[in-house]
A and B are shown apart, each in its own frame.
Chain A
Amino acid sequence: MAFARTEVAVVGMGCTEFGERWDRSLDDLLIDAAGQAVASVPGFDVRDVDAFWLGTHSSGLSGLALSRPLKIQHKPVTRVENMCATGSDALRNASYAVAAGAYDVVMAIGGEKLKDTGMSGLVVPSVPDDGTPVDLTAPAMFSLIAPAYMRKYDVSAEDFRAALTHIAWKNYRNGARNPRAHFRREVSKEAITRAQVVAGTLGIHDCSGVSDGAAAAIVVRAEDARRYCDRPMYVRALALAAGPADGPNDPDYDYTGFPEVRATAAAAYAQAGISEPARQIAMAEVHDCFTPTELVLMEDLGFSEPGMAWRDVLEGRYDLDGALPVNPDGGLKSFGHPIGASGLRMLFELWLQFRGEAGERQLDDPRLGLTHNLGGPPGEVVSFVSVVSPEPESVGHG
């Protein structure tokens, strides 16, 4: 297995404001994010970067989408796409490149400019096909989780609705304390519960929004980290899985979770030497594209027992002041989901938290953080998990 021990570290990061950035093109967002990341490393210049990985799902083609705006002088630039794990996969590939010794300093940058499409909701670009795949929107795909979970674990509609509402409320509340978030206002539980139905039992507040944004990370080998940064963020695990995409065809797939997430969580925990994630992980940024997604992710990531996540949510376990804060920055709920940027935006929050720079959202000395993304509809997803820490040595390892 790759990455048996810590080999790379993040030594600089940047993140733009996310939102309906009518005034910024993708070029602008990438320049802004890259500039912030470079500026966060004392005495550093973008020309010091040996190679770049650009994560963008549908806003730019080839490495030129980065080299053109940054005027990169004949350096390697790779465009990465892996649905909603795009930004994280850019980080992953950049990390392997420095770990392998191919380069010394690399940048992983993700950006998306969704508001130029003019569409309501996310539009996934399509490839030519025979016309038979069902054209389902993202909210509809994930709305299938709700009735499945309620049936399997015998949860009443009221309780389940309350848990979903709590997740949205929590994330809006966190985002209200984040100057980079798209949505910076708290929303009452009543407004969330009463929102207009979009698909199944999901209302508008159960869905993350369509946004623009970009984020970037400078990555080096762990042994070089201190040359660039006083408080590096060490990458303790990187896991990616593309499932066989046969969930919708498998009578045994019950829409109450994601096997791909369980696989990546297991791989990441093994790499990082984590045996009790619920206890050892101090904070997690997870893919809350929709509220029921975040709920079942608590179980798939091992934070809650199967069938218990809804209770843990309602008890405040995952609130900012709970035992395991989830989406302390406000999540996809408050930032929206500029696809290529989200994974790196998640990492940025952990970066701030480890450095004591998270302002009103600051947690008390977190030592292990997790980021997670998933792309695709339930039953056919790509999943990514990372574990990061301010320390290179394993923490809490037996």
Chain B
Amino acid sequence: MTTGITGFGAYLPRFRLRRAALQELLGRPARSGTRTVASHDEDALTMGVEASRIALAERSHDPTTVWFATTRPPYLDKTNATALAAALRLPDATGAYDVNGSVRSAVGALRAAAATAPSLAVLSDLRYGLPGSSELLEGGDAACAFAFGDDPLAELLAVGSVSVELLDRWRAEGAAGPSTWEERFASAPLVCGMEAATEQALGGAGLAVSDLNHVVISSSLTRAARTVARRFAPDVLAGHFHEAVGYAGAADAGLQLAGVLEGARPDEHILVLVGADGGDAMVFRTTDRVTERRSERSLQRALTDGDDRLSVASMLTWRGLLPREAARRPSPRMPSAPAAARNRAWKFGFVASRCRDCSTRHLPPQRTCRTCQSVDRMAPEPMADEGGTIATFTLDWLAASVSPPSVVAVVDFEGGGRFQCLLTDCDVDRVRIGDPVRMSFRMVDIAGNGVRNYAWKATPVNQER
């Protein structure tokens, strides 16, 4: 029985910052391309949820363990993966664990998932630093997710790992972004690490370099990645998306792997190499299943779906790098923990209720039916994957928002049910009654004490730019 990747998903936030705009603001030489920017209502958790929904779409069974890796965990001390599991409506009997803090955590998550199948590894990151930093310029926000189990589309053949204690890159708690030593310092150790890991993995898989069809190389140290890349034939090197997306940290290798899997044919060998604090290698072989399930929400599509009109000021504000004067409105307040716990299926999972007597859907769920007044005759009704249309909407310029105006839409769902919610990732000038929407898990705001309020919002489907 072989174990490997049974499903995967990649998520890119809609917004792109043109690097030229950032450089112009800082009075620096022009730089081409764009980087992805998580919106004001996104974080590592919400992006991870989106990628996971794609990976788990049409799943035959739920993962029993979830591994969540990011360098930007919403919370410390508290597990973030439990919120992920709740958003994915996984059963209570699920192990949900954070593998947090470093870029290399992603590999840890993948290896742990491979060892605990059926499982899900979710790799998500936001990359930024102070204005002037290379992280802000070259980084990219993204998430990807890999389900592991039997009968895979890509079998995991072998792994290799070399760990090197190296102070080449670090972020102290409270710092805006990572600090680095001189680039040349870490190049050799990382290159050696990646090469040694490759040897281990190829050896374990009984393969030669020439057997490889695709090679993913991901390292925060571009120099090291380039050096290692020269060991392989140019045509097997997987596309990285640094020009359009940026270096995605914990999500970077997985993003490249997703790109490979979307175009791979059966019986191809894939090497995934990560150069961080040493070197990690994973060798996969695709099966017939790799061409079977191709999601509409593909990485290829996401790459073309970006909006590059984002201002530098907005990006800096969203990442907390440009403090702004607050409106004379009450500060966001934290949700009541008991209320959020009682309603976790609704709040995190968007599970509504349906009256067993008259079939009326209720969003949010109710105990008393609004149509037939029956009490406690409700069944849970998962609505997260239902499509809807905008019945009416308004722009609220007065509401306190990091990114005014707030757009509130009344959404009518296919199959019944109406719900009033915030509309996000939309061009406010182009919202129209009748527009189709889908639901997305988002972070509404952060209270003064740092507590994040999560809720589902609607996003337009196929909004023309």
Interface residue ranges, A against B (CB under 8 Å): 118-121, 123, 126, 128-132, 134-137, 139-140, 143-144, 147-148, 151, 197-200, 244, 246, 248-251, 255
Which one of B208-216, B258-266, B329-337 is at the interface? B329-337
Q: Among residues 424 to 451 in chain B, which have CB atoms less than 8 Å away from a CB atom of chain A?
A: 433, 444
| Tier of interface size on chain B | 35 or more
Given contacts A119-B329, A251-B412, 20 further A-B contacts (CB under 8 A): A120-B327, A120-B328, A123-B329, A130-B336, A130-B342, A131-B455, A132-B343, A134-B421, A136-B406, A140-B398, A140-B408, A144-B394, A144-B410, A147-B433, A197-B397, A198-B397, A199-B394, A199-B398, A250-B418, A255-B392
Distance of A180 Cα from B453 Cα, bound (Å)? 44
A-B residue pairs in contact (CB < 8 Å), sample of 9: A129-B336, A130-B335, A131-B334, A131-B454, A134-B420, A134-B421, A148-B392, A200-B394, A249-B363
Chain A's nearest CB lies how many Å from the CB of B366? 8
Contact B399–A128 (Cβ < 8 Å)? no
Contact B340–A123 (Cβ < 8 Å)? no
Q: Is B376 an interface residue (CB 8 A)?
A: no
Considering only CB atoms, which chain A residue lies closest to B330 in the complex? A123
Contact A128–B336 (Cβ < 8 Å)? yes
Distance of A255 Cα from B420 Cα, bound (Å)? 13
Q: Is B419 an interface residue (CB 8 A)?
A: yes
Considering only CB atoms, which chain A residue lies closest to B454 in the complex? A131
Instruction: State whether A132 and B329 are in contact (beta carbons under 8 Å apart), knowing that A137-B396, A143-B394, A248-B420 are contacts in the complex.
Output: no
Contact A118–B328 (Cβ < 8 Å)? yes
Q: Is B346 an interface residue (CB 8 A)?
A: yes
The interface residues of chain B lying within 8 Å CB-to-CB of A129 are 335-336, 339
Considering only CB atoms, which chain B residue lies closest to A251 in the complex? B418
Contact B329–A139 (Cβ < 8 Å)? no
Instruction: State whether A131 and B335 are in contact (beta carbons under 8 Å apart), knowing that A139-B396, A140-B406, A199-B397 are contacts in the complex.
Output: yes
The interface residues of chain B lying within 8 Å CB-to-CB of A120 are 327-329, 398
The interface residues of chain B lying within 8 Å CB-to-CB of A248 are 410, 418-420
Distance of A320 Cα from B246 Cα, bound (Å)? 65
Distance of A137 Cα from B399 Cα, bound (Å)? 6
Distance of A152 Cα from B444 Cα, bound (Å)? 33
Distance of A244 Cα from B360 Cα, bound (Å)? 15
The interface residues of chain B lying within 8 Å CB-to-CB of A118 are 328
Contact A140–B396 (Cβ < 8 Å)? yes
Distance of A182 Cα from B363 Cα, bound (Å)? 41
User: Which applies to chain A's interface (DSSP): helix, strand, loop or mixed?
Assistant: loop
Interface centre among A131, A140, A148 (most CB of B within 10 A): A131
Quick one: which of B392, B395, B418 contacts A199, CB cutoff 8 A?
B395
Distance of A148 Cα from B390 Cα, bound (Å)? 12
The interface residues of chain B lying within 8 Å CB-to-CB of A143 are 394, 396
Chain B's nearest CB lies how many Å from the CB of A260? 14
Considering only CB atoms, which chain B residue lies closest to A197 in the complex? B397
Distance of A200 Cα from B397 Cα, bound (Å)? 8
Considering only CB atoms, which chain B residue lies closest to A244 in the complex? B370
Considering only CB atoms, which chain A residue lies closest to B338 in the complex? A128
Q: Is B104 an interface residue (CB 8 A)?
A: no
Chain B's nearest CB lies how many Å from the CB of A272? 31
Contact A132–B346 (Cβ < 8 Å)? yes
Distance of A229 Cα from B274 Cα, bound (Å)? 90
Instruction: State whether A130 and B397 are in contact (beta carbons under 8 Å apart), knowing that A118-B328, A248-B410 are contacts in the complex.
Output: no
The interface residues of chain A lying within 8 Å CB-to-CB of B416 are 251
Chain A's nearest CB lies how many Å from the CB of B307? 23
Chain B's nearest CB lies how many Å from the CB of A116? 13
Distance of A129 Cα from B340 Cα, bound (Å)? 7
Contact B347–A246 (Cβ < 8 Å)? no
Instruction: State whether A147 and B396 are in contact (beta carbons under 8 Å apart), knowing that A121-B329, A123-B330, A249-B419 are contacts in the complex.
Output: no
The interface residues of chain A lying within 8 Å CB-to-CB of B420 are 134, 136, 248-249
Interface centre among A130, A136, A200 (most CB of B within 10 A): A130
Q: Is B461 an interface residue (CB 8 A)?
A: no
Contact A140–B394 (Cβ < 8 Å)? yes
Q: Is B290 an interface residue (CB 8 A)?
A: no
Q: Is B145 an interface residue (CB 8 A)?
A: no
Considering only CB atoms, which chain B residue lies closest to A249 in the complex? B418
Chain B's nearest CB lies how many Å from the CB of A201? 9
The interface residues of chain A lying within 8 Å CB-to-CB of B347 are 130-132
The interface residues of chain A lying within 8 Å CB-to-CB of B333 are 126
Instruction: State whether A137 and B398 are in contact (beta carbons under 8 Å apart), knowing that A120-B328, A132-B455, A249-B419 are contacts in the complex.
Output: yes
Interface centre among B327, B334, B398, B405 (most CB of A within 10 A): B398
Distance of A348 Cα from B398 Cα, bound (Å)? 32
The interface residues of chain A lying within 8 Å CB-to-CB of B330 are 119, 123
Considering only CB atoms, which chain A residue lies closest to B340 in the complex? A130
Q: Is B364 an interface residue (CB 8 A)?
A: yes
The interface residues of chain A lying within 8 Å CB-to-CB of B363 are 249
Q: Is B384 an interface residue (CB 8 A)?
A: no
Contact B408–A136 (Cβ < 8 Å)? yes
The interface residues of chain B lying within 8 Å CB-to-CB of A136 are 396, 399, 406, 408, 420
The interface residues of chain B lying within 8 Å CB-to-CB of A246 are 370
Interface centre among A120, A132, A136, A140 (most CB of B within 10 A): A132
Distance of A119 Cα from B393 Cα, bound (Å)? 25
Instruction: State whether A139 and B370 are in contact (beta carbons under 8 Å apart), knowing that A130-B335, A148-B392 are contacts in the complex.
Output: no
The interface residues of chain A lying within 8 Å CB-to-CB of B354 are none
Distance of A147 Cα from B431 Cα, bound (Å)? 13
Interface string of B367-405 (1 = CB under 8 A from A): 000100000000000000000000111111111100001
Contact B328–A119 (Cβ < 8 Å)? yes
Q: Is B53 an interface residue (CB 8 A)?
A: no
Considering only CB atoms, which chain B residue lies closest to A248 in the complex? B420
The interface residues of chain A lying within 8 Å CB-to-CB of B394 are 140, 143-144, 147, 199-200
Distance of A155 Cα from B164 Cα, bound (Å)? 72
Quick one: which of A119, A130, A255 contacts B343, CB cutoff 8 A?
A130
Quick one: which of A121, A123, A131 contacts B453, CB cutoff 8 A?
A131
The 7 A-B residue pairs whose C-beta atoms are closest, nearest first, are A131-B335, A140-B396, A128-B336, A120-B328, A130-B339, A200-B394, A131-B453
Chain A's nearest CB lies how many Å from the CB of B438? 18
Distance of A249 Cα from B419 Cα, bound (Å)? 5
Interface centre among A121, A126, A151 (most CB of B within 10 A): A121
The interface residues of chain A lying within 8 Å CB-to-CB of B364 are 132
Q: Among residues 347 to 372 in chain B, which have CB atoms less than 8 Å away from a CB atom of chain A?
A: 347, 362-364, 370
